[in-house]
């Protein structure tokens, strides 16, 4: 059993569950404030586990010199923090901007290009080869997402492409971060990297969210909103650790393709918890996404050139 792919699948499900949970509080908590609270809770969950691992890891003579005295070690920490800011703050900001100008269904379809962009970028950098099975699996997963969103794609279009460009840019940022993380995940333990990246994103989001008056909003949240935010934050902390664990042991494309589970999970949980209907399009999407995941992940992991 491939634990890395199971972790990637769990992350895809977690993202869908977090989207459904976010619908409960989106009216009470604005986007940047919700992102700040989400990752602050996630960081607080990861930090107690990450710190002992970091200290033990640093106790190694070679690693201690690398992290404490070496210029390259400092650069590594800075790059990992920057990747965390990109993965959370920049990606979320672009996505939220895009959602102000384009419908949710069209935005989700554009964002589903994430694994395809990852595949192309990873191949361009020489990290993995594009095989027919992998490429077909990625394209099938995108087709499955399109089928799941088909009923929502007929919404009127405002006539400009700022929204589409922002959503595509957010997917590109996610793909870039997913590819660039791997060398650092090979070099350092996953838990400290997860906590560092998430903590850096919180520090970046805190001043950005001031435009929404987050201190006052957080103080005035209801108990129900806090409970939902706590669930989103805890699941995000666990999900991000699983995401980086998967990236550490598998190629970026084989990991990101599992994001296709996001709309399916959201639809199923939406039906169970929000009484949202599931139509024939969703069943076709599940079949298409299942076939795509099977093609993209079957057999021996894709060879990576060094």
| Token pair for 37 | 């609270």
Of the pLDDT bands very low, low, confident and very high (cuts 50, 70, 90), residue 15 is confident
Q: Which of 85, 121, 60 is nearest to 204 (CA)?
A: 85
pTM beyond 0.85 = no
**Segment 138-197, tens digit of pLDDT:** 788 778 777 766 666 555 555 566 777 888 888 889 889 988 888 888 888 888 888 888
**Segment 116-125, tens digit of pLDDT:** 788 888 888 8
d(CA 77, CA 82): 9
Q: Residue range 246-263: average pLDDT?
A: 83
Helix-helix angle 114-124:162-187, to 10 degrees: 50
Q: Which residue has the higher pLDDT, 69 or 246?
A: 246
The answer for 215, left when phi > 0, alpha when psi is -120 to 50, beta otherwise, is: alpha
User: How many helices (H) and strands (E) are present in the chain, helices listed first?
Assistant: 15, 0
């Amino acid at each position: 059993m491939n634990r890395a792919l199971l972790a990637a699948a769990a992350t895809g499900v977690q993202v869908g569950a977090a989207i459904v949970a976010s619908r409960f509080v989106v009216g009470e908590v604005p986007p940047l404030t919700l992102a700040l609270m989400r990752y602050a809770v996630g960081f607080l969950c990861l930090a107690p586990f990450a710190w002992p691992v970091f200290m033990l890891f640093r106790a190694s003579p070679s690693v201690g010199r690398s992290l404490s005295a070496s210029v390259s070690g400092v650069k590594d920490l800075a790059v990992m923090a920057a990747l965390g800011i990109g993965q959370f703050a920049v990606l979320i900001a672009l996505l939220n901007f895009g959602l102000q100008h384009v419908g949710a269904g069209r935005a989700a379809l554009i964002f589903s290009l994430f694994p395809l962009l990852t595949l192309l970028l990873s191949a361009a950098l020489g990290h993995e080869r594009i095989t027919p099975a992998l490429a077909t699996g990625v394209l099938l997963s995108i087709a499955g997402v399109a089928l799941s969103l088909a009923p929502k794609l007929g919404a009127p279009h405002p006539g400009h492409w700022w929204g589409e460009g922002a959503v595509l840019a957010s997917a590109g940022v996610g793909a870039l971060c997913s590819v660039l993380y791997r060398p650092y995940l090979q070099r350092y333990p996953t838990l400290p990297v997860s906590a560092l990246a998430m903590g850096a994103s919180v520090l970046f989001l805190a001043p950005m969210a001031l435009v929404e008056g987050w201190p006052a909003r957080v103080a005035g949240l209801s108990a129900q909103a806090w409970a939902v935010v706590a669930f989103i934050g805890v699941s995000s902390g666990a999900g991000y650790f699983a995401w980086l664990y998967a990236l550490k042991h598998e190629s970026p494309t084989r990991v990101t393709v599992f994001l296709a589970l996001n709309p399916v999970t959201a639809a199923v949980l939406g039906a169970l918890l929000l009484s949202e209907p599931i139509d024939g399009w969703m069943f076709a999407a599940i079949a298409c996404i299942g076939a795509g995941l099977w093609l993209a992940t079957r057999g021996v992991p894709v060879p990576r050139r060094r």
